[in-house]
Amino acid sequence: MMNKNENYQFQKFGERVFIIAILLILSIFLDFLRVIALIIVFFALSNIKKINRELDDKNLAKFHKKMIRSFIVSFIGGIIVSVAFGVAAFLWYVDASVIMYLIPINILIYGIVLLFISVALQKKAWNKFHKFFETNSSMFPENILIDVLDGTDKLEKACKYTLFVITIPIALIYFLIGLFKLARLRMLPLYKDEEDHAPPKTQITPPISPRDEPNVAAFYCPSCGNKITRPARYCALCGHDLILDQAKV
Inter-axis angle of helices 142-163 and 102-135, nearest 10:
160
Global model pTM greater than 0.95: no
pLDDT in tens, 69-114: 999 999 999 999 999 999 999 989 888 888 888 999 999 999 999 9
pLDDT confidence of residue 191:
62
pLDDT confidence of residue 234:
67
pLDDT in tens, 143-191: 999 999 999 999 999 999 999 989 999 999 999 999 999 999 999 887 6
| From 35-39, 40-44, 151-155, 199-203, the region with the lowest mean pLDDT | 199-203
pLDDT confidence of residue 94:
87
Cβ pair 45, 13 in contact under 8 A: no
| From 16-20, 47-51, 195-199, 202-206, the region with the lowest mean pLDDT | 195-199
Stretch 115-138: mean pLDDT: 95
For residue 20, give every residue at least 6 positions away whose Cβ sits within 8 Å of its Cβ, in sequence order, or none: 37, 40, 41, 44, 179
Residue 72: helix, strand or coil by DSSP?
Answer: helix
Residue 82: helix, strand or coil by DSSP?
Answer: helix
pLDDT in tens, 195-228: 444 455 555 555 555 554 444 455 667 777 666 6
pLDDT confidence of residue 238:
73
Q: How far apart are CA 15 and CA 207, in angstroms?
A: 54
**Of the candidates 226, 249, 222, 228, the residue with the CA atom closest to the CA atom of residue 237:** 226
